Amino acid sequence: MITFAFLKKIKQVVKLHDLQFRPFISEEEIQQTVQRMAIEIANDLKDEVPVFIGILNGSFMFVSDFVKKYPKPCEVTFIKLASYEGVKSTEDIQRLIGLTQDLSGRTVVILEDIIDSGNTLEEVHRIFKNEHVKQLLIATLFHKPTAYKKDFKLHYVGVEIPDKFIVGYGLDYNGLGRDLPEIYQLKTTQHMTNLVLFGPPGAGKGTQANFLKEKYNLIHISTGDVFRFNIKNETALGMVAKSYMDKGELVPDQVTIDMLNAEVEKNADAKGFIFDGFPRTNAQAEALDKLMDSKDSQINAMVALEVPDEILVERLLERGKTSGRADDADEGIIRNRIKEYYDKTAVLKDYYSAQNKYFGVNGVGSIEDITKRLSAVIDTL
C-alpha cells in the first residue's frame, strides 16, 4: 500500500480544464513499481510466453514501460473500452476494439492502468470467457480498494491509493493530462479543524480531548493508543515498530507518520482531528504538516493547556492516592516529568508560533470553564 513516504515533491499544482490537480506519485516511484511488477510476474510465469493485453487509452504508458522491463519473451496487444466521463466512473462499458489473434491455451495477463469500481474488469472477464485461455491474470498499476465493487481477483497490484480522481501517466481528465510522467490527484477544498493538543502531566488534557471531540465531532488520535492497537493486532506497521522497541531503539518518525496516515485514511470524512502525543520535535511537526497537506488540509492550531507547576504537583499527588501509578506518588518524579514536558514542547511552541498557530489556554478552574476557554479558541479557527 502507498505510504506517506511516497508523497515526494514533484511539480507544482497543474490545472486541466476547470480543475486543479496536486502532485501525488513521482515518476521515479512509478518506474520502481512497474519494475517490481514486471519481475514478479516474470518469476511467477517462469518459461511461459504470456500475452500482455493493455486496456486503452489509459494503459499505454504503463504497458510500454512494463514490456521494456519484462525480462523474458512476451507478446503484446491492446483492446479499448470506455468507462469514464469527466471525473466520474460510469456504468456503461462498451467494447470498442476487439482481439484478432487466437488466445486458446495461452496465458493472458491484462495490464490495467487503474481499477476502481471494477466495471471495466467485469467486461474484460466477459470478453475472455469464450476465448479458451489457459489462465487469465489481472495486473493493475493502481487500485482503489474502497471503490472496488466486484469479486474478481486482482492477481498483481502495484499501488493501492485513496478513492480520489487522478491524472497523469496515461490517465486523463477529459482528454488532458495523459502526457504527464507523474501522477496528480484532484485537489479538493475541505474545511477541517485539526488540532495539536498539548498539556503537561496533570493538566487534564485527556478530559478536555474527550469534551472537544464530542462538541466538534472530531477524531481523537492518541499516538500511544495507535501504537498499542497496531502492536496488539500485529499489523505490518505494528510489527516494524515492535522490532525497534524490542531492541530498545526509538521507532523511526516515518513509522509513526504512516500509522497516523492510516488513521486519517480510515476517517476520510471526519470534520477534523485532535492529535495527542504527536508531534514532539520540529521534524515531526514538519512531517505532520506534509501529511495534512497531502489531504488538502492543514494543522489549524497547537492548543496548550497552561497550569502553574505547583498546581500540577498538587493534582498529581492527589491522583496518585487512587491511580496506583508510582510516577504519580513521588514529587521528585512528578517535577521531572513536568520539566521534561517543557523541554520537549518549547521547540514546538516556537514552531507553531512562527505560523501564528500557537494558543496557550489557562488550564486552571473547573472542567467546564477550561472547556469554554478552549472552545473560544477553536471557534476562531
* Grid cell digits, residue 75: 507478446
357 in active site? no
Which of the residues 280, 335, 349, 357 is marked catalytic?
280
Which of the residues 8, 325, 339, 344 is marked catalytic?
325
| Residue 365 annotated as binding site | yes
> pLDDT tens-digit profile of 144-192?
999 999 999 999 999 999 888 999 999 999 999 999 999 999 987 667 8
Spatial contact of 123 and 95, defined as CB atoms under 8 Å apart: yes
| Residue 284 annotated as binding site | yes
The confidence score (pLDDT) of residue 5 equals 43
More confident residue, 7 or 352: 352
| Residue 197 annotated as binding site | no
More confident residue, 207 or 3: 207
Which of the residues 150, 242, 290, 337 is marked catalytic?
337
| Residue 337 annotated as binding site | yes
Q: Summarize the confidence of residues 50-63 as an average pLDDT.
A: 94
d(CA 147, CA 162): 9
315 in active site? no
Which of the residues 22, 164, 205, 213 is marked catalytic?
205
Question: What pLDDT band is residue 86 in, cutting at 50, 70 and 90?
Answer: low
Q: Summarize the confidence of residues 256-261 as an average pLDDT.
A: 94
Spatial contact of 105 and 78, defined as CB atoms under 8 Å apart: no
Identify the architecture of domain 4-186 in CATH. 3-Layer(aba) Sandwich (3.40)
| Residue 205 annotated as binding site | yes
> pLDDT tens-digit profile of 230-239?
999 999 999 9
Q: Where in the chain is the domain with CATH 3.40.50.300?
A: 193-378
Max CA pair span of the chain? 84
| Residue 279 annotated as binding site | yes
325 in active site? yes
> Phi, psi (5° rounding) for residue 112?
-105, 140
Which of the residues 242, 319, 335, 373 is marked catalytic?
319
Question: What pTM was computed for the model?
Answer: 0.55
Which residue type sits at 211? F
337 in active site? yes
The confidence score (pLDDT) of residue 7 equals 44
* Choices 3.30.1330.10, 3.40.50.300, 3.40.50.1950, 1.10.443.10: CATH for 193-378: 3.40.50.300
Q: Assess whether pLDDT exceeds 90 at residue 127.
A: no
Q: Where in the chain is the domain with CATH 3.40.50.2020?
A: 4-186
| Residue 207 annotated as binding site | yes
205 in active site? yes
> Phi, psi (5° rounding) for residue 183?
-105, 135
Q: Where are the strands (E) in the chain, listed by range?
A: 14-16, 19-25, 51-56, 75-85, 88-97, 107-115, 135-143, 156-160, 166-167, 183-186, 193-198, 219-222, 272-276, 301-306, 358-362
| Residue 202 annotated as binding site | yes
